[in-house]
A and B are shown apart, each in its own frame.
Chain A
Amino acid sequence: MSKAAGPDFPLRKRASHDALFPAVRQLADQLILLALLASICLFILYPMVCILWRSLQDGDGVSFAMYAHVWRKYRQSLYNSMLTATCTALLCTAFSVAAALLTATGKGWLRVLGMGLLLITMVSPPFVSSLAYIQLYGRRGWITYRVLGLSLDPYNCWGVILMQSLSFVPVNALFLMGMLTKMDQGSLLAARDLGARPKHILRDVVLPLIRPGILVCLLLSFVRSLADFGTPVIIGGRFSTIASDIYMQLMGFSDLEKASAMNMTLLLPSVAAFFLYRYLMVKTGSTSGERSQQRGLWLPLHRCGALGGILAGGGIFFFLVLVLQYICIFASGFIKRVKGVSVFTLDHLERLMRYNADTLVRSMVYALIVALAGTFFAMLFSYYVYRRKVRFGSFFDCLATLPYMLPGTCFGIGYILAFNHPPLKLTGTALIVIANMLFKQLPTTTKICTAALAQIPDAQEKAVRDLGGDKLTVIKDVILPGMRPAFLSCFAYNFSSSMTTSGAVLFLIDPGNQLAVFRLFDAVNKGEYSMAALIATFIILIVVVVEGLVYLLASRKEKAHVS
């Protein structure tokens, strides 16, 4: 050894470090990878295969008879689904762009208010928005009838489209906001410098720069709309989509074979949309993951001509509707009617606390487990697939995106079919619910983690190996710390999705592990609107408080690190 000229540093053994032999650690690394891939197969692929298999059952054999039947009988619904999804995607994206621009260009407290509203309404418990919609805009709705004196029939395809469009906006708008605030201010300044007026900047610079984001919003809204059953079930009236027909088949006929075949049929347009999404994302490159600056975007919308006016108007309209809707939800939980008059009451609260206090706690605990375990899983998975480029990585990556495209009910039924027999008997346990939420949300968390992973320089990883650390050390010392920004996003997404997930858990809940969102569903079914609204209020409250705390904790730690 080329001995340094410096003083000797004795090699005193550290008590705990590296007690494991390198071979064992190597094995552990392989085992983690194996466990990740095996989990993907077990919790995503296998349930899917079970659904597919069930859809091919034909009394006494395997056939495509069910698909032929579905195609014959539900073509109208399929058409309705496609029409609704297309319209929703367009309208929702328009609202999203408007809301994002309005918020991003807002000044001072206006921007903070817009951000706050978007963040709160991103937590959108299922069903209750549609109930609020009926209360506000129904035949005797507060706004339409009492204020405007109209008596409209809200139970049709336009009601569904409008409702879906509004409720998908917050996530999209926040995503676009991220792009807008990270936008190179230089190009805006350059455009101004070259004599462009605001309306030209909007048309020539801002909108083209966020075009990739707009495409993402279009496609994600399309897929979400296809899979959404709650809205058409509640406000569709006689109008039905494939998703609401699947719900009917499951709830009214318990026809699993037909429901499975319908789910698989619905998967086709979703998969098509998703591949288009991936293609476009690869072409434009990933943009999320960076931390956005708290800087406003200089662009006075009111001076942006007709387009600016439409966007500003759309944004204001959206926020107005959103605020009314959430006020309506919050208020409903504390109102009862006495002789036709609404009065304040704590009856619902008292009833909720008596029967369902433990349900709320359990929901929170499950959501926390999913948020932590799911984030950890997504971090490891994205590392092995995108950094280590393990064999068949892209295949597993595709598998991991599948749950996004599946209607929740389908994913839930798949879990029961897959895990109802020993040695894989998980039905009736908490694990099946937690695993279902975790893997249902994996597509999004993996995306977030992959984006963060791209920000970690390759050299850091090499440096660890070079200085004597092995692959496990790389994970511990570089990958996990480096993904700190992704942790918060993943945690928030996992937590709020777990609190509000509707489709999948409807079939996985058992006596003894009831969740708030299931109780909400049950209340909606029983017509206990006030109870449903109250549970929704609690869910929103829990999510906002828990995520606020985690955010504070994380930013305090961040500060401690910087100083």
Chain B
Amino acid sequence: MYLELHQLNKRFGEKEVVKDLSLELAQRDLLCILGASGCGKTTTLNLIGGFLAPDSGSILLDGQDVTALPPERRPVATVFQSYGLFPHMTVLQNVAYGLKFQGMDRAAARKKGLYYLELVGLADRAGSRIHALSGGQQQRVALARALAVEPKLCLLDEPFSNLDAALRTKMRHELKRFQEELGITMVFVTHDQEEALILADRIAVMEEGALAQLAPPEELYQNPASPSVARFLGVDELVWREDGTVLKIIKQ
């Protein structure tokens, strides 16, 4: 498979945060890691991104073992929950920032940065300061910055949690569009069942550091592996698309 996590373990002191986690993901798929806060999903993301080193286990990406690589050497890019934009740089400088490490010259980096800004609809704000942007716009800049380095894998850590409900729905659809158009493999962390069901090709439900179930949304919804997974999903009725993904959720 394109992304393979094998038997990952991570503990902080006495606390086992990730327990024997193994999962696989095909290229161009979007995996949602879903779970209540404190279940180890962000830690898992940090392990994939290289910000934490696992105590044991390995991570394979596109056939390459990346377990020992530091973040800057991993072909992985992250959209952080708080975006992590650089306030002292312009929007374009932010988006083009990662390109200089790929050895791209300034003019080419600028051109590519603009291309991705256009993609997220912010080409006209290229020269703005980060603080001059709204929350949704900052979110898009963070996404453009991650996509611009053309990572093999894009990680998103609850990226929409700081947005209001309407904007969140809109951004979900845009993200899905980008992912499909650009054919990017993504891992998306969320505690929002609705978000996971709408976005994901596959969903990994985590409970107390361990994988509770890994399945496509439909299967997960119809055959929860355990009562606790079913309780966590807690939704009533779904409207399905033709391709088997979720179109709409109807809550109780």
Q: Do A and B come from one complex?
A: yes
- A interface with B by C-beta (< 8 Å): 1-7, 9-14, 17-18, 22, 457-470, 473, 477-478, 481-482, 484, 561-562
B80 at the interface (CB under 8 A from A): yes
Q: How far is the CA of A464 from the CA of B27 in the complex (A)?
A: 25
Q: Are B103 and A17 in contact (CB under 8 A)?
A: yes
Structural contact, B105 and A13, CB atoms closer than 8 A: yes
The A-contacting residues of B in range 106-122, CB under 8 angstroms, are: 106, 108, 111-112, 115-116, 119
Within the complex, the shortest CB–CB distance from A484 to chain B, in Å, comes to 7
Q: Are A459 and B81 in contact (CB under 8 A)?
A: yes
Q: Given the known inter-chain contacts A2-B27, A9-B112, please indicate yes or no for A468 contacting B104, CB distance below 8 A.
A: no
Partner of B104, one of A2, A14, A464, A561: A14
Query: Which residues of the other chain, A, contact B116 by a CB distance below 8 angstroms?
Result: 6
Query: Nearest A residue to B76 by beta-carbon distance?
Result: A466
Known: A2-B185, A11-B104. A467 touches B82 (CB 8 A): no
A12-B108, A465-B51, A468-B72 known; A1 vs B100 contact (CB < 8 Å): no
Closest 4 CB pairs of A and B: A459-B84, A467-B98, A468-B101, A463-B84
Whether A14 and B106, one on each chain, are in contact in the complex, defined by CB atoms closer than 8 angstroms, is yes
Shortest Cβ distance from A9 into B: residue? B112
B19 to chain A, nearest CB (A): 24
The answer, yes or no, to whether B232 is at the interface (CB within 8 Å) is no
* Also in contact, A7 and B84, with CB within 8 A (given A1-B75, A12-B104): no
Provide the bound-state CA to CA distance between A18 and B72, in Å.
13
Judge whether B181 and A465 touch: CB under 8 Å: no
**Chain B residue with the shortest CB-CB distance to A478:** B86
- The bracket for how many chain B residues form the interface is 35 or more
Whether B97 sits at the interface, judged by CB under 8 Å, is yes
Chain B residues whose CB sits within 8 angstroms of the CB of A3 once the complex forms: 150, 183
A-B contact pairs, 23 of them (CB 8 A): A2-B28, A2-B152, A2-B182, A3-B183, A4-B147, A6-B115, A9-B112, A9-B115, A12-B104, A13-B103, A17-B101, A459-B82, A460-B85, A462-B49, A462-B51, A462-B71, A464-B97, A465-B50, A465-B70, A466-B71, A466-B98, A467-B98, A473-B101
Check if A481 sits within 8 Å of B88, measured CB to CB: yes
Known contacts A22-B73, A458-B84, A477-B97; 5 additional CB pairs below 8 A are A2-B27, A6-B116, A18-B101, A459-B84, A469-B98
B residues near A (Cβ < 8 Å) are 27-28, 49-51, 62, 70-73, 75-78, 80-88, 97-98, 100-106, 108, 111-112, 115-116, 119, 129, 131, 145-147, 149-150, 152, 181-185
- Inter-subunit contact A467/B149 (CB<8 Å): yes
User: Could you say which residues of chain A place their CB within 8 Å of the CB of B149?
Assistant: 467-468
Contact A467 B77 (CB under 8 A): yes
Kindly provide the distance from the CB of B55 to the nearest chain A CB, expressed in whole angstroms: 18
Residues of B within 8 A of A484 (CB): 88
Alpha-carbon gap, A466 to B69, bound state (A): 11
A351 to B81, CA, bound (A): 65
A466 and B105 in contact, given A1-B75, A459-B80 (Cβ under 8 angstroms): no
CB-CB nearest in chain B for A1: B152
Q: Is the CB of A467 within 8 A of B145?
A: yes
A18 to chain B, nearest CB (A): 7
Which of A11, A466, A469, A473 has the most CB atoms of chain B within a 10 A radius of its CB? A466
Contacts of B80 in A (CB 8 A): 459, 462-463
| A7-B115 contact, Cβ under 8 Å, with A2-B28, A462-B71, A466-B77 | yes
Residue pair B72, A469 in contact (C-beta under 8 Å): yes
Give Cα distance in the complex from A409 to B209, angstroms: 57
Tell me the minimal C-beta distance from B225 to chain A in angstroms.
30
Closest to B142 in A: A463
Cα A469 to Cα B100 in complex, Å, equals 9
Residue in chain B with minimal CB distance to A6: B115
Q: Are B84 and A462 in contact (CB under 8 A)?
A: yes
Q: Could you tell me if A6 and B103 are in contact, using CB atoms closer than 8 angstroms? A: no
What A residues does B103 contact at CB under 8 A?
A: 11-14, 17-18
Residues of A within 8 A of B83 (CB): 459
Q: With A459-B81, A466-B77, A467-B77 given, is the CB distance from A14 to B105 under 8 Å?
A: yes
- List, in ascending order, chain B residues with CB within 8 A of A473's CB: 72, 101
* Closest chain A CB from B250 CB (angstroms): 34
| Closest CB in chain B relative to A224 CB, distance in Å | 36
Q: In the complex, are the beta carbons of A17 and B84 less than 8 A apart? A: no
In the assembled complex, how far is the CB of residue B156 from the closest CB belonging to chain A, in whole angstroms? 12
Chain A residues with Cβ below 8 Å from B81 are: 459
Q: B131 CB to closest chain A CB, in angstroms?
A: 8
**Min CB gap B82→A, angstroms:** 5
Minimal beta-carbon separation of B152 from chain A (angstroms):
6
CA distance A460 to B27 in the complex (A): 28
| Nearest chain B CB to A25 CB, angstrom units | 10
Please indicate the chain A residues that have their CB under 8 angstroms from the CB of B106 in the complex. 14
Instruction: Give the docked Cα–Cα distance between A328 and B68 (Å).
Output: 68
The answer for the CA separation of A22 and B106 in the assembled complex, in Å, is 21
C-alpha gap A416/B202 in the complex (Å): 69
Given contacts A2-B27, A4-B150, A459-B82, contact A466 B183 (CB under 8 A): no
Contact partners of A4 in chain B: CB under 8 A: 147, 150, 182-184
